[in-house]
Amino acid sequence: MRSIAGRQRLSTARDVLAVFTGLATASSRRIGVFCECRYKSTGSAFPGKVKLGDKTYQKDSWFNVPDSIATSIDRQLHTTNDHPISITRSIVESKFPAPAFKHYHDFFPVVSTHENFDSLGFPADHPGRSKTDTYYVNETTVLRTHTSAHELEIFQAKESDGYTISADVYRRDAIDKTHYPIFHQMEGARLWDREKVAHGDIAKAVWEDVERLPKHHMIVEDPNPPTHPERNPLQAGHAPEEAAAIATHLKRSLELMVVEIFSRAKAAAMATNPNYHDEPLKVRWVEAYFPWTSPSWELEIYWQDQWLEVLGSGVVQQELLQKAGVPSKLGWAFGLGLERIAMLLFEIPDIRLFWSQDPRFLSQFTGVSDDLDTLKRFIPFSKYPACYKDVAFWLPPASSSTTSAAGGLAPPQAFHENDIMEIVRNIGGDNVEDVQLTDEFTHPVSGRRSLCYRINYRSLERTLTNEEANRFHERVRGELVKKMAVELR
């Protein structure tokens, strides 16, 4: 998963299936001006204000939100009737019913760095805070990178024992079929109050709630102990049996959600193909790390011969609940990527499709929001030809020594692949299917680094002519020189 929160963030932009914690695209987006580049960044170049949705913000030298992102904020796919992202949200929500769970859909995506990072205990040097990974409006304001940005305020509001949030989230990232700089997450949490449960016995109260949950027959691998002193510690104020009960409730609740998704996926597949034969569903729990949960786990699903990570979760850190003014409560939280789940559910092959306004895409989901039982698999329409173009260049000497692929806060002049992705995306928009590094070389004498990227120009909606692709590509080459000071080869 593109887990901004945990150590997974340290993996490169290429952890392909990370998507499913998010990804998508808009065919009709305006191609924005490239607003900010670390290579040319000066505060004075970005004075003034920017309008995002219906709000206006002061920009500063941190500003790096391209027009293509800013103008997509209004799309709100997760609440668009009959859109696959919204349909997937409804299915997940159905497994977290009222009154225990309240469902929030309309938190605005511009949040403070305090909400997105500090309130959750992200260390000051966490790579997720880097400008190469996150869209900044100004030094203390970002486009949220995950729905966890709202945990503190919802815990503070005390409106229900549990909740889900669905929302658009934003991350600078690679360009490929499963990554898109805007995607959608769902967050969920469930708390129990020591002062409200009988005799203050949280473990007993949670176990009673576990007993009320349905059982399922899915195969679940869960080889790890409920807590582990080094890898997945019990929190200081929690009894082992409390953490174990909360973990059981968390895991069963999320397994039931997965069973629901896949039963619907199977029914949809059988509606299209009565001879459809599927493998028994298999999932596994893997120990994880998030700054605001402990112990923590990720859930992976075995799908088409590989393990796909679909969500992160854990027992909420008591410190966060103390900050929220509810120190007597304990519980769990999870976050999942709706695009990944929707891609599995509907068999949607390319994340850009979610942003398409093409009736050949959208019409396939008509009526499903009102009657989830009419859900069908997506039938792809014809694929248009790809047009590959390569660009090779020398990095400027100052950048050659450092490649920080999300592995740490890069020094100001360091090269970061996400900066290339952003240039390509701002020029080619959704006409770019993917961008791959195909060659890398360091000159033995000068020490300079040369890179070669292959850009695959392909529209989802029509055939791009070679001339059009050339025009995009020429602009990309020009911008690479202008913004990143590379020397083309």
Tokens 């059981």 appear where? Answer: 248
3 binds ligand PHE (CB under 6 A): yes
| Distance from C-alpha of 41 to C-alpha of 28, rounded to nearest angstrom | 29
Supply φ then ψ for residue 317, to 5 degrees.
Answer: -60, 130
User: Smallest distance from the beta carbon of 168 to ligand PHE, in angstroms?
Assistant: 13
**Helix (H, G, I), strand (E, B), or coil: what is residue 252?**
helix
Sheet with 282-290, side-by-side order of all strands: 101-104, 162-170, 182-193, 329-337, 306-316, 293-303, 282-290, 219-221
Task: Tell me if 297 sits within 8 A of 8, measured CB to CB.
Answer: no
Which part of the chain contacts ligand PHE (CB under 6 A), choosing from 125-133, 190-198, 331-339, 420-428?
Answer: 331-339
Q: Which of residues 363-402 bind ligand PHE (CB under 6 A)?
A: none
Comparison of 70 and 316: residue with beta carbon closer to ligand PHE = 316
- Residue nearest ligand PHE, Cβ-based: 335
The single residue among 92, 111, 203, 333 that binds ligand PHE, judged by CB under 6 A, is 333
- The yes or no reply on residue 335 touching ligand PHE (CB under 6 A) is yes
Token match 């996926």: residue? 265
The amino acid at residue 244 is A
The binding track of 176-215 with respect to ligand PHE, each residue x by CB under 6 A or -, is: -----------x----------------------------
Number of C-beta neighbours around residue 240 at 10 A = 12
The SS3 call for residue 38 is coil
Closer of 332 and 415 to ligand PHE (Cβ): 332
Q: Does 334 bind ligand PHE (CB under 6 A)?
A: yes
From the CB of 95, what's the least distance to ligand PHE, in Å?
16
20 touches ligand PHE (CB under 6 A): no
Cα–Cα distance measured from residue 246 to residue 117, given in angstroms and rounded to the nearest whole number? 25
Task: Report CA Rg, the chain.
Answer: 23
Kindly tell me which residue out of 84, 291, 314, 429 binds ligand PHE, with binding defined by CB under 6 A: 314
Mask 291-310, x = binds ligand PHE (CB under 6 A)?
A: --x-----------------
Q: Residue count at the site for ligand PHE (CB under 6 A)? A: 16
Q: CB neighbours (10 Å) of residue 424?
A: 24
Query: Could you tell me whether strands 101-104 and 110-112 are parallel, antiparallel, or unpaired per DSSP bridges?
Result: unpaired
- Shortest Å distance, C-beta 4 to ligand PHE: 5
Write out the residues near ligand PHE by the rule CB under 6 A.
1, 3-5, 21, 146, 148, 187, 290, 293, 312-314, 333-335
